[in-house]
Structure 1
């Protein structure tokens, strides 16, 4: 089904996929990046955790809860 770890954090390409990666990363939630960030802003998608100025991730538990609520 989904390639999510049991616990921890995932980055945006792991959530929305990255067809240009080698090998390509299939999407768990098939939306575009701008749609994802708009959803975060409006509260539709979970808030990220900032680890640094250029490192943003989401809790796996939050992503699993989002999938379960769909």
Structure 2
């Protein structure tokens, strides 16, 4: 992978497999995992395909890594 492409990929997405299930990630990582836009992530949350995020503060929203892994496994087996 070229350095320029690698620079645009969030570090949490590059190292997602090494993160513990208890870790939290932000929207850019979720977009990369599900290969979709921000709007599609929120539609997926509303439809129940993507787990609901948690609010850490008024301007900080994050997703649990373990819940995301479970959702990715379920979508892979459908």
TM-score range, shorter chain: 0.7 to 0.9
What is the aligned residue count? 59
In the alignment, structure 1 segments of 5+ residues that lack a partner are 17-26
Runs of 4+ in 1 over 3 A off after TM superposition: none
Give the structure-1-normalised TM-score. Answer: 0.75
Give the structure-2-normalised TM-score. Answer: 0.68
Instruction: Give the alignment's Cα RMSD to 1 decimal.
Output: 1.3
User: More helix per residue: 1 or 2?
Assistant: 2
Which of 29, 41, 44 is equivalent to 2:46? 41
Q: Which has the larger radius of gyration?
A: 2
In the alignment, structure 2 segments of 5+ residues that lack a partner are 1-13
